[in-house]
């Protein structure tokens, strides 16, 4: 729903502002501007008349997906777009393991990154259908390679040891975008417990 989406956009923008300040990056991160509008005309019926929707500014430039919400990372992302995985890692450390900003996509221009449609993972699955909770966090760290920015922020050592979970998590068929309560119920409980324990074992 748009209220959850708006909350994710606002919090991602707040995270990005703090990350830009502490990382002193040459390519600051921002989130695309948007507005909330009521549908007053609909030729196709989707969205429906009277519904409220989020409307974003058009992103000019070469659109790229950098990292997903389920562990996928763009090839060469750590060297070509080092701010993206570092931003996700930093958001997790900054919240002491409670949240992780991911599903980062958008454009990079001379002024920096402009992102759209991010996701936030949380321990309580509090951010809608794209919040894969501890499972998404685990999948992120299974593929995450710390970048030069991670090292400059001294967060490289602050990550869970998930090597013993490799076959358990990666063997689960995670949806590419949305995660329903039914999808969560398909995950063996011991995988959830082991993942959460590994994440909570990190000392901040």
pTM above 0.75, yes or no: yes
Going by C-alpha positions, the residue among 141, 143, 125 that lies closest to residue 180 is 125
Count the neighbouring beta carbons within 10 Å of the beta carbon of residue 132: 30
CA–CA dist 168, 7 (Å, integer): 32
Tokens 């063996």 sit on residue? 188
More confident residue, 53 or 76: 76
Contact between 200 and 97 (Cβ < 8 Å) = yes
Beta bridge partners of 90: none
- Per-residue pLDDT tens over the stretch 6-49: 999 999 999 999 999 999 999 999 999 999 888 888 888 778 88
Q: Please, how many CA atoms are within 13 Å of residue 65, restricted to the half-sphere of its CB?
A: 14
Contact between 169 and 139 (Cβ < 8 Å) = yes
| Structural tokens at position 75 | 């090839």
Q: What is the pLDDT of residue 46?
A: 79
Q: Which residues contact 145 (CB under 8 A, 6 or more apart)?
A: 73, 78, 85
Q: What is the pLDDT of residue 172?
A: 60
Minimum mean pLDDT among 35-44, 74-83, 117-126: which range? 35-44
Q: What is the pLDDT of residue 12?
A: 98
- The answer for 43, left when phi > 0, alpha when psi is -120 to 50, beta otherwise, is alpha
- Per-residue pLDDT tens over the stretch 126-153: 999 899 999 899 989 989 999 999 999 9
CA–CA dist 201, 180 (Å, integer): 27
Q: Tell me the chain's radius of gyration from C-alpha atoms.
A: 17
Count the neighbouring beta carbons within 10 Å of the beta carbon of residue 96: 11
Contact between 120 and 98 (Cβ < 8 Å) = no
CA–CA dist 8, 52 (Å, integer): 17
Count of positions (residues) in the chain: 204
> What's the DSSP call for residue 164?
G
Report how far apart, in Å, the C-alpha atoms of 117 and of each of 31, 36, 101, 134, 161 are: 9, 15, 11, 20, 29
């Amino acid at each position: 729903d748009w209220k959850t989406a708006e909350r994710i956009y606002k919090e991602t923008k707040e995270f990005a502002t703090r990350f830009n300040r502490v990382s002193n990056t040459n390519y600051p991160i921002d989130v695309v501007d948007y507005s909330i509008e009521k549908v007053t005309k609909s030729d196709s019926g989707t969205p429906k008349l009277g519904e409220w929707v989020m409307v974003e500014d058009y992103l000019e430039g070469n659109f790229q997906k950098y990292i997903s919400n389920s562990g996928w990372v763009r090839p060469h992302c750590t060297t070509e777009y080092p701010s993206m995985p570092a931003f996700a890692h930093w958001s997790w450390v900054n919240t002491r393991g409670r949240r992780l900003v991911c599903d980062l996509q958008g454009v990079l221009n001379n002024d920096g990154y402009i992102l759209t449609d991010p996701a936030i993972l949380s321990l309580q699955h509090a951010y809608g259908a794209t919040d894969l909770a501890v499972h998404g966090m685990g999948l992120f760290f299974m593929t995450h390679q710390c970048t030069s920015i991670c090292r400059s922020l001294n967060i490289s050592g602050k990550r869970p040891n998930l090597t013993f979970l490799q076959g358990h998590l990666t063997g689960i068929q995670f949806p590419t975008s949305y995660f329903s309560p039914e999808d969560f119920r398909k995950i063996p409980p011991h995988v959830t417990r082991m993942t959460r324990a590994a994440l909570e074992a990190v000392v901040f």
